[in-house]
Chains A and B, each alone.
Chain A
Amino acid sequence: MSGIRLAALGVVLVVASGLSYGQNGALTPFDKLPDWTGTWTMIGDTVFDAGTRVGKGNAWTPGVREHPPYNDVYEKKYEEHLALRDVYKFPDTNNFCGIPVNYPRMLNLPDAYEFVVRPDEFYIIAENGENAMRVYTDGRPMPKKEDMWGTYTGVSVGHWEGDTLVFETAGLKGDRDNDAILDRTGAVLSDAAHTTTRVRKINDNTMQFVVTIEDPKALTKPWVVTKQFRKQKPGLFLYDYGCAENNRNPVDKATGEVLTLGSDGKPIQ
């Protein structure tokens, strides 16, 4: 091999070694992937961004709100949702039973989670809903913008940086159809939202997702939210979650109120 060829090979190797798994098309070997097995539950309640919350209580408690860096249009929209929430007329889209949750609300659910790692894909499986999300880590590029139409969880592609999974999510429907919220305070994103998520296990019992949300229609700057999950004891079973099985809290579409049905299926008066 000539000196020139050796030099060229060296350049290729240097460049290749600088790429993370998943970026150059090479699958991360299974034995190089982190162990994220087990059952996990979200730490804290279902206020999406606890770091900016104002008021004590939960997402449905009057006075509780967050402070996403909304522009004026979306701040006004959020305040309208909060006002409805305060009088219990802002229904949780989960009550519709039959539509999936959106991303990143996927990370803001009660009940249990599984985080499934394999060389070509990563799965978030949320028992609540039930909901699932796929992140492709096989090196494929994100689809062209014009080929995406906006779905609840969009499209995600990612790569590994050591023990950290980094993935981009686009093609989100946002608040286009008024059926995708981040939590019951009524925080929403637009259909222009794009997220970058970094996932890693910060210790044996804690998984951390740091989500950087960019949304040129709704936000004035990136909004960074951290969600953590605690590992549960081993051997637990997860189950299906038929939301419509016995939904005694349907939404009255005329008023937006959440009804409570009695055991006879009729609203309790």
Chain B
Amino acid sequence: MKSLRVVLLVMLAAAPVLAHHGGAEYDAKTIELSGTVKEFQFTNPHSWIQVDVKDQSGKVVEWSLEWGSPNTLTRQGVHPSAFPVGAKATFKVHPVKTGIPVGAFVAAKFEDGTTVGKWDSPGGSE
């Protein structure tokens, strides 16, 4: 599994990436989620990372994390192997304002410390 994981440090701004469809309802604040990758939909018009996250009561909630088009992501070094199913990671996201389990993906850090996205950039976790 680890061999599939690509070490990535890409400089991606959330807003332009989501300029096609979503983005209107995303909050500017950043939150952190810890969970397990259920699926990585590397598809147009946007890619989606499905993550199972345990809420405070222990119930598993599936979050949908929206990211850029696979076309743009792949040119920036992000490939379908970036999020192996079953991988555990902490995710930084801009949540939607309505409170549903949807967010704009900012970055992720896997258990071995490798990161995807702009983990250390300004505007990260508050």
Q: Which of B25, B45, B96 has the most CB of A within 10 A?
A: B45
Interface residues of A in 141-166 (CB under 8 A from B): none
Instruction: Tell me the minimal C-beta distance from B26 to chain A in angstroms.
Output: 9
B44 interface hit (Cβ, 8 Å):
yes
Contact residues on B (Cβ < 8 Å of other chain), bracket: 20 to 34
Task: Map CB proximity to A onto B24-65 as digits: 1 under 8 Å, 0 otherwise.
Answer: 110000000000001101011110101000000000001010
CA distance A92 to B45 in the complex (A): 13
Residues A268 and B100 in contact in the complex (CB < 8 Å), given A245-B43, A263-B39, A263-B64: yes
Is A94 within 8 A of B100, CB to CB? no
B54-83 at interface with A (beta carbon < 8 Å): 62, 64, 66, 69-72, 74-75
**A170: Cβ under 8 A from any B Cβ:** no
Which residues 214-257 of A sit at the B interface, judged by CB distance below 8 A? 232, 236-243, 245-249
Q: Verify if A55 is at the interface (C-beta below 8 Å from B).
A: no
B71 close to A111 (CB less than 8 A): yes
Chain A proximity of B10: nearest CB distance (Å)? 14
Whether A110 pairs with B21 at a CB distance below 8 angstroms is no
Stretch touching chain A among B12-20, B84-92, B114-122: B12-20
Residues of B within 8 A of A58 (CB): 15-16, 19, 23
> For residue A239, which residues in chain B have a CB less than 8 angstroms away from its CB?
70-71, 74
Give the interface size class of chain A. 35 or more
Cross-chain pair count, CB within 8 angstroms: 100
CB distance from A40 to the nearest CB of B (A): 12
Interface membership of A17, Cβ < 8 A: no
In the complex, how many angstroms separate the beta carbon of A77 from the nearest chain B beta carbon? 20
Q: A110-B16, A246-B45, A260-B22 are in contact. Are A238 and B71 (CB under 8 A)?
A: yes
Q: Does B123 contact A (CB under 8 A)?
A: no
Please, could you name 25 A-B residue pairs with CB atoms under 8 Å apart, sorted by A? A46-B16, A88-B24, A92-B20, A94-B45, A95-B21, A110-B69, A110-B72, A111-B69, A112-B71, A128-B69, A184-B24, A236-B75, A242-B44, A243-B20, A245-B43, A245-B44, A245-B45, A246-B41, A248-B48, A258-B22, A260-B22, A262-B62, A262-B64, A263-B38, A263-B39
Shortest beta-carbon contacts, A-B, top 6: A246-B43, A249-B21, A60-B24, A239-B71, A110-B19, A88-B24
